Structure 1
Amino acid sequence: MPFKAEYIWVDGTQPTAKLRSKTKIVDDGADLPIWGFDGSSTNQAPGDKSDCVLNPVLSCPDPIRGGDNVLVMCEVLLIDGTPHPTNTRAACTALASQYEDQEPIFGIEQEYTFFKDGRPYGFPVGGGYPAPQGGYYCGVGADEVFGREIVEKHMDACLTAGLHLSGINAEVMPGQWEFQIGPVAAPRVADELWVARWLLYRIAEEFGIAATLDPKPVKGDWNGAGAHTNFSTNAMRSGYDAIITACEALGKRVPEHIAGYGAGIEHRLTGMHETAPWSEYSYGVSDRGASVRIPWQVEKDGKGYIEDRRPNANCDPYVTTALIIETCCSALAQP
C-alpha cells in the first residue's frame, strides 16, 4: 500500500526564511528518495535554472494524516549534490561533527503568537488593547488564555511524531505561547524545531488562525517573542569553570551572534521586557535581563547549562546552534 510523504524544506525568502512542503506518494517498502522542486518559486533559483533538490534528513510519523504516512524534513541541494547557498544545515552539521567529542546539546524554547483577522488572538475584536500583560503568563481561564485548543493539538502531534518535545506554556502576551524542543544534539534539534514549526502552522490553519514568529508582534509595552537557546557540553555538565568559559566566549563575538539570531532583533532586545540591549552583552545568575542567564540551580550544583536569551523567535535554528557551537566549543577546546 503506497504511503504519503510530506517533504518539508526551508526556502530562500529574506530576511526570514519560510517553510514549504509538498506531498510525494511512495511505494510501500521503498526508501525515501531525493526529490525536486521549482526553486524559482521559492527564492532559491532563477527561472532558467530552476531545479533544486530535496534531500531527506529526518523522517517521522505524520500525526495529521496518520497511518503509515510520514513527515520528511529535507535539506536543499544543488543539482550537483552540493549544499544550496540557502542550506544552513550543512554548516551546522560540519561544526557539530568537528566538536562532537564535547557532546554539545541544546534545548530551544520556541515562542510564537497567534493572529486572527489581523490582530493578536485575544485582543479586542473592535480594536484597542486588552488588560496589561502579567496575568496571561501560564494563566488559566477564558479571560486570560487564548488558543489552548490549538496548543494542545500541536503538543499531541509533536509527541506522536516522536519529537523531543519537553513542554509548553502560555506566555506573557495574550495569544502568545511557547513550546520547547530538546535536550538533543545539533543538527537534530534544529531539524525537529523546523518540523514542530510546520506542525504548528498546519494545525493552526485548521482553526483559521495564523501562528507568527514575529519577534515583536505588538509595539509598545508588550513582550516580544524569542527562541531562548539552552546549551551545554560535557565539560559544562561536569564543572562550573566551563560554564564561565562559555559565557565569556559568547561576549567576545557579540556582532556575529546578533547578526545570526534573527531579523528585527533590535526591536525585541531593547533592555526592557526581560531582555538585554542588543548592542550590549552581559551574563548573570538567575538574571532574565541579561544576554545569557545561568540558572540558579546551575550555580548551586556547580555544573549544568546556560541560556542564551538573545535569539529571536524567527531565528534559523541551524544558524543559532552553529554559532553557539563554534563560539563556545572552540573556547572550551583551548588548553
Structure 2
Amino acid sequence: MTFKAEYIWIDGTAPTAKLRSKTKIITGAPAGLDALPLWGFDGSSTNQAEGHASDRVLKPVFSCPDPIRGGDDVLVLCEVLNTDMTPHASNTRAELAEVSARFAAQEPIFGIEQEYTFFDGTRPLGFPEGGYPAPQGGYYCGVGADEIFGREVVEAHLDHCLKAGLGISGINAEVMPGQWEFQVGPLAPLEVSDQLWVARWLLYRTAEDFKISATLDPKPVKGDWNGAGAHTNFSTKAMREGYDAIITACESLGEGSKPLDHVKNYGAGIDERLTGLHETAPWDEFTYGVSDRGASVRIPWQVEVDGKGYIEDRRPNANVDPYLVTRLMVDTCCTALEKAGQV
C-alpha cells in the first residue's frame, strides 16, 4: 500500500519566513514519526542555499493525520538541515530544543493566541470596495452577516485542526472586520511551536479552497485599526503554584536589555503595531500590570485573586516565529526563577 506524506518546512525568507510543502508518496503501511524518511529540496529556491550547492535536508520532527486528504495520509513538519546533518542557519527549532531540555524540570508551558486577517484580493475581507466599513467595536466576538466575515473558513480550519489532533483550545472573531484568532495550547515549548506552525499551514491551505488568503501581517490596515498579534501565555510549575514566581517572571522580562532583546525577535514590523494604542504598549517601553491590556505583559485578574497561574506577553506579532518567542521566554524567565530559588 501507499500513502501521501505532506512534508512541511519553514523557509529562509527574511524578514518573515514562509511555509513551504511538497508531497512524498511512501510505500508501505503507515508508521510512526521515526519511520518517516529524510527527504531533500532545492534550497536555492527557498532562500536557504546558493545554486552551486543547493541541496538541503528535511528531517521529520512532528506528524499528524492529514485532515484534508484523509485516509492514511499525514502531515509532516520538518526541520531543515545541511547535508552534514547540522541545523541550517534558518532552523530556529534546534536552539529551542536545547533550551527546553535545560529547563525541563521547571515544566514550562505555553498557550499562543494566533491572530490573522483574511483578504479577498487586495481588500481585507468585509471591507467595501473603495472605502472602509464602520469603525471597529462591534466586530469582536460578533455575530451576524453585517459584522462577521469568513466564518465558514474559520469553522473549516477549526475542524481540520481538531481532526489532525492539534491542541487547539478555541477561536474567536477579532476587533477588525475579517480578523480572527485561534489558540494553541497549553503545551510544552516544542509542542506548542510545532503545532502552531502546522495550524498556520492548515489555515493557508483551508483558505485556499475558499479562494481567499490569510495573512499574519501585524498591521494589515494602516490607521485606526487594531493590528494582529500572537499573545503568548506562559507559566512554569512554580508560577502555577505561587504568586512570587509570577512577579519574578515579569520582572525578569523587564531587566536591562531584555525588553529590546525580546522585541527585536518578536516579528518584523513590530514598531507599526506596538504604538501604545489599540491595546498595545509602546515597542520601546516595558511595563506589566494586572488586567492591563495596555501593558507589555499582563497578569490576568484571576491570577492575582488565586495567587498563582500564568502571565501573558502581549508584545509578539502575529508573524512571530514561535520557536523564537518560546525560547526567549523560557531562557529569560526560567533563568531568573532558578536564581531566585523559585523552581
Alignment of 1:44-83 (within 5 A): 44-83=48-87
C-alpha distance in structure 2 between counterparts of 1:311 and 1:139, whole Å: 25
After TM superposition, what 4+ stretches of structure 1 lie above 4 angstroms from structure 2? none
Instruction: Please give the per-residue CA displacement for 1:85-142, whole angstroms capped at 9, x wherever unaligned.
Output: 00000011100000000000000000000001201000002x1100000000000000
Aligned residue pair count: 334
C-alpha distance in structure 2 between counterparts of 1:3 and 1:84, whole Å: 28
Q: Displacement of 1:3 after TM fit?
A: 0.2
C-alpha distance in structure 2 between counterparts of 1:41 and 1:186, whole Å: 30
Q: Which residue is equivalent to 1:22?
A: 22
Q: Which residue is equivalent to 2:279?
A: 274
User: What SS does structure 2 have at the residue aligned with 1:238?
Assistant: coil
* Alignment-mate amino acid for residue 61 of structure 2: V
C-alpha distance in structure 1 between counterparts of 2:107 and 2:242, whole Å: 14
Q: 2:330 matched to 1:325? A: yes
Q: Which residue is equivalent to 1:42?
A: 46
Q: Displacement of 1:28 after TM fit?
A: 2.2
C-alpha distance in structure 1 between counterparts of 2:201 and 2:28, whole Å: 25
Instruction: Please give the per-residue CA displacement for 1:210-265, whole angstroms capped at 9, x wherever unaligned.
Output: 10000000000000000000000000000000000000000110111001100000
Q: Which residue is equivalent to 1:163?
A: 166
C-alpha distance in structure 2 between counterparts of 1:184 and 1:51, whole Å: 33
Q: 2:216 matched to 1:213? A: yes
Q: Displacement of 1:188 after TM fit?
A: 1.1
C-alpha distance in structure 2 between counterparts of 1:261 and 1:92, whole Å: 15
* Alignment-mate amino acid for residue 200 of structure 1: L
User: What SS does structure 2 have at the residue aligned with 1:260?
Assistant: coil
User: What SS does structure 2 have at the residue aligned with 1:187?
Assistant: helix
Normalised by the length of structure 2, the TM-score is: 0.97
User: What SS does structure 1 have at the residue aligned with 2:171?
Assistant: strand
Q: 2:120 matched to 1:120? A: no
User: What SS does structure 1 have at the residue aligned with 2:264?
Assistant: helix
User: What SS does structure 2 have at the residue aligned with 1:112?
Assistant: strand
C-alpha distance in structure 2 between counterparts of 1:266 and 1:273, whole Å: 13
* Alignment-mate amino acid for residue 4 of structure 1: K
1:241 aligned to 227, 240, 244, which one?
A: 244
2:137 aligned to 129, 134, 157, which one?
A: 134
Q: 2:96 matched to 1:92? A: yes
Instruction: Please give the per-residue CA displacement for 1:167-201, whole angstroms capped at 9, x wherever unaligned.
Output: 00000000000000000001111000000000000
Q: Which residue is equivalent to 2:201?
A: 198
Identity of aligned residues (%): 74
1:176 aligned to 176, 179, 192, which one?
A: 179
Q: Which residue is equivalent to 1:304?
A: 309
* Alignment-mate amino acid for residue 266 of structure 1: D
Instruction: Please give the per-residue CA displacement for 1:264-310, whole angstroms capped at 9, x wherever unaligned.
Output: 00000000000000000000000000000000000000000000000
User: What SS does structure 2 have at the residue aligned with 1:178?
Assistant: strand
Q: 2:157 matched to 1:154? A: yes
Q: Displacement of 1:50 after TM fit?
A: 0.2
* Unaligned ranges ≥5, structure 1: none
C-alpha distance in structure 2 between counterparts of 1:246 and 1:215, whole Å: 26
Q: Which residue is equivalent to 1:5?
A: 5
CA RMSD of aligned residues (A): 0.6
User: What SS does structure 2 have at the residue aligned with 1:71?
Assistant: strand
User: What SS does structure 2 have at the residue aligned with 1:255?
Assistant: helix
C-alpha distance in structure 2 between counterparts of 1:146 and 1:157, whole Å: 19
Normalised by the length of structure 1, the TM-score is: 0.99
